[in-house]
């Protein structure tokens, strides 16, 4: 089947991370330019979709092509001197990527012309572009590397938030890290739950994932550690930094859902029946509720 990095979850995460960086900039005293926020978000989303389509060109699975050949009898459509039509679905993904590359270049030039793309923001944008290239093209093949989840966390949570902060002219990087690093850990925990559900399939298909590399038992322990560390960092920030508890406490409302994740993982490790729907619900809720509570606090409550 076709495995591509383009998912609605990742597109939503990019938008939420951009909103987080913009909200922190607004909290630091910079008026939020929502036009710049929209341009920056569309810039990253168009890059993500375009590179995902390029990755589909490189990583399209042979079994799907064989099914197309069997179903549509494409091998009979070859003419003397004509390239095998079976290759056309792969090249179609490159054709579909062109409009998104065009949109990316247009938005990039627009931000450059408006002088909103500061040297710092440009640096982080280049890092995001580099990670997108490494994930979706050979020879790095991060999309099939055990480290892809960590790279995805930086590319979809941490780096876009810093990029948005700098794009808005903000300087409160310390406050941003207080929120972004726990959200990064929650994202990694979510990715482990997703990999756990497909663990046997990934082993059978010999797909390289972090969970396959370290084993499901260590992976489940790592999941629990990620969730607990995320909320522990928020608690420590409230105790040992200058940031007010009024700013950090609302984010702890997501803690019960995080503890539900941990309890489910412990139950699965002890042999309890796996309730995938409940596990997916708690993992997604913990992450997205964390984003919502943070944004609500910065933009509305404070």
Cα–Cα distance between 172 and 23 in angstroms, integer? 11
Helix axes 34-59, 8-27, angle to 10 degrees: 150
Using left for φ > 0, alpha for ψ between -120 and 50, and beta otherwise, residue 215 falls in left
119 or 5, which is more confident? 119
Mean pLDDT rounded to a whole number for the chain: 84
| Range of lowest pLDDT (31-40, 64-73, 272-281) | 64-73
3-state helix, strand, coil in the chain (%, to 5): 80, 0, 20
pLDDT category at 21 given cuts 50, 70, 90 is very high
Helices (H) and strands (E) in the chain, counts: 14, 0
42 or 246, which is more confident? 42
Tokens for 235? 């608690």
User: With 50 as the cut, is the pLDDT of residue 74 above it?
Assistant: no
Contacts (Cβ under 8 Å, ≥6 apart) of 118: 166, 167, 169
Looking at residue 200, its pLDDT comes to 78
Looking at residue 177, its pLDDT comes to 94
Strand (E) or helix (H) holding 233: helix 216-240
Looking at residue 186, its pLDDT comes to 96
Nearest CA to 296 out of 12, 39, 26 is that of: 26
Task: Report pLDDT digits (tens) over 80-112.
Answer: 444 444 455 667 888 889 999 999 999 999 999
Nearest CA to 262 out of 178, 192, 181 is that of: 192
pLDDT category at 2 given cuts 50, 70, 90 is very low
């Amino acid at each position: 089947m076709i495995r591509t990095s383009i998912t609605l979850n990742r597109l939503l995460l990019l938008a939420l991370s951009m909103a987080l960086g913009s909200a922190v900039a607004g909290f630091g005293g910079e008026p939020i330019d929502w036009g710049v926020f929209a341009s920056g978000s569309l810039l990253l989303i168009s890059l993500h979709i375009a590179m995902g389509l390029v990755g589909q060109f490189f990583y399209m699975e042979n079994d799907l092509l064989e099914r197309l050949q069997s179903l549509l009898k494409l091998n009979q459509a070859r003419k003397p001197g004509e390239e095998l039509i079976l290759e056309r679905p792969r090249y179609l993904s490159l054709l579909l990527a062109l409009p998104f590359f065009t949109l990316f270049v247009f938005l990039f030039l627009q931000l450059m012309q408006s002088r909103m793309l500061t040297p710092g923001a440009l640096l982080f944008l280049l890092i995001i572009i580099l990670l997108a290239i490494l994930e979706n093209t050979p020879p790095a093949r991060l999309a099939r590397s055990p480290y892809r989840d960590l790279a995805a966390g930086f590319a979809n949570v941490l780096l876009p938030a810093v990029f948005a902060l700098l794009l808005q002219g903000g300087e409160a990087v310390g406050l941003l890290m207080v929120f972004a690093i726990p959200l990064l850990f929650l994202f990694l925990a979510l990715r482990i739950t997703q990999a756990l559900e497909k663990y046997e399939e990934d082993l059978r298909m010999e797909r390289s994932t972090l969970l396959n590399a370290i084993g499901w038992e260590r992976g489940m322990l790592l999941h629990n550690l990620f969730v607990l560390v995320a909320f522990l960092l928020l608690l420590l920030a409230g105790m040992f930094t200058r940031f007010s508890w009024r700013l950090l406490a609302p984010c702890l409302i997501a803690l019960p859902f995080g503890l539900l994740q941990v309890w489910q993982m412990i139950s699965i490790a002890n042999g309890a029946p796996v309730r995938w729907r409940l596990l997916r619900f708690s993992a997604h809720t913990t992450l997205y509720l964390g984003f919502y509570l943070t944004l609500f606090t910065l933009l509305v409550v404070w």
